[in-house]
Amino acid sequence: MRKIAVVGAGKTGRGFIGRLLGEAGQEILFIDRNVELVSALNEAGKFCVDFFGNEREPLEVGRFRACTWEDVSLKDVELIFVSVGGQNLPEAGKSLAACLDGGRHYYVITCENASHPSGTLRKAMGKDNISVSEATVFCTTIEGHGLDIHSENYPYLQCDADLLDGYVPEIKQVRPMGQFAHFLTRKLYTYNAASCVIAYLGWAKGYTNYGDAANDKEILEMLDRNYAATNRVLCREYGYEEKDQEEFALLSKKKFCDRTIADTVSRNARDPQRKLAASERIMGPIRLLYKYGEDASVLEKTAAAAILYQAEPDDPWSRIQSEKTREQILKEICKVDPEEPVFAHIMGYIREMERNISGTGEPDRTAHENLLREVRKNV
């Protein structure tokens, strides 16, 4: 079989996609813009994936070569996985398009937990000789020592069969599925929405360890309320069996509450501007909950905490916060009309949470500590 390329040699690309391909005995070509990472991979010639809780023996991945965009060759490649982060898809698509042979057809699978990533990548590539599918990533991966990765033992990559135009990868770990768009939304509104509840309300309560936040009694109570409401509306909207959806949600809760999966609140809370987008994991399920008359208060409080989330000073989110008011973020990023009830609800939670913020909107250390105490009263 031809080589398989993986664009993005980070935690997911290397530690999950690379691990699955390694298990399948495939030869891998990693493509990454990070010159130092590419050099380190080629020099080491291998890396190790070990599994949370020692659930299975560590796996060594060694049949690979790494390159940058400057020296890439896709001569022997027909299947390409892209794992670069949703916000980087346009740039990666343009770089990838420049490397393709116009006389051949390529199959591309995006591995991003974002809304319609295949469309974003296809538009950026602007080519006719490609079939671009999308996969959902359930596997948590954390960087370990050197090139090594700590990972959840998740065995498959589910992807959209319809977008592969009849192509079936000869890899048992890759599972094409029909009606995948509904499955992706289901995952986004169940898994990813719940992760936001834990991350942003956990930040508001002063947690830094994700497992600690996930096991907080008050957050768990809110998480269960949100699961119950979301389960009902997903079944009504997409026709899922109630028992099946409840099991799906419980699997995500089990994962989030597993303290052996080392993770941080900050990693899960990063990029609020993406997670607050209109069809994303916070506002998307809020809209669906409103559609069916369900209680959306847990996610409304999560949205308020996300809008107030304090990233590092040089983070793009900090720049957005300095340039836009809370109302502008709701209107321009969340796409919520000021006349809608959800706008008033979220702004009400924000006002409660930011009561002790200074008038400039830039909290000092003391003001931020006061903010956290105020948020804790409202969680």
What local confidence, expressed as pLDDT, does residue 136 receive? 85
pLDDT above 70 covers a percentage of the chain that reads 93
What does the pLDDT look like over 270-321, one tens digit per residue?
Answer: 999 999 999 899 999 999 999 999 999 999 999 999 999 999 999 999 999 9
Q: Assess whether pLDDT exceeds 80 at residue 361.
A: no
What does the pLDDT look like over 118-145, one tens digit per residue?
Answer: 999 999 999 999 999 999 888 889 899 9
What does the pLDDT look like over 240-249, one tens digit per residue?
Answer: 999 989 988 9
Phi, psi (degrees; rounded to nearest 5) at 146: 60, -120
Question: Which residues does residue 59 pair with via DSSP β-bridges, in sequence order?
Answer: 49
What local confidence, expressed as pLDDT, does residue 288 receive? 97
What local confidence, expressed as pLDDT, does residue 299 receive? 98
Name the nearest CA neighbour of 19 among 9, 44, 255, 145.
9
What local confidence, expressed as pLDDT, does residue 363 receive? 41
By the 8 A CB rule, do 234 and 249 touch?
A: no
Q: Which residue has the higher pLDDT, 67 or 75?
A: 67
Q: In 10 A of CB 312, how many CB atoms?
A: 10
For residue 368, what pLDDT band results from cuts at 50, 70 and 90? very low
Average pLDDT, the chain: 91
Q: Assess whether pLDDT exceeds 60 at residue 357.
A: no
For residue 55, what pLDDT band results from cuts at 50, 70 and 90? confident
CB-based contacts of 287, cutoff 8 Å, min separation 6 = none
Question: Which residues does residue 79 pair with via DSSP β-bridges, in sequence order?
Answer: 4, 107
Q: Assess whether pLDDT exceeds 70 at residue 373.
A: no
**Using CA atoms, how far apart are residues 269 and 154, in angstroms rounded to an integer?**
22
Mean pLDDT of 148-176: 93
Q: Assess whether pLDDT exceeds 70 at residue 369.
A: no
CB-based contacts of 254, cutoff 8 Å, min separation 6 = none
In 3-state terms, the chain is what percent helix, strand and coil (to 5)?
A: 50, 15, 35
- Give the tokens for residue 297: 């208060």
Looking up tokens 């027909």, which residue turns up?
A: 78
Q: Assess whether pLDDT exceeds 80 at residue 359.
A: no
Domains and their CATH numbers in the chain: 3-178 (3.40.50.720), 182-378 (1.10.1040.10)
What local confidence, expressed as pLDDT, does residue 1 receive? 53
**Using CA atoms, how far apart are residues 249 and 235, in angstroms rounded to an integer?**
12
Q: What is the pTM of this model?
A: 0.65
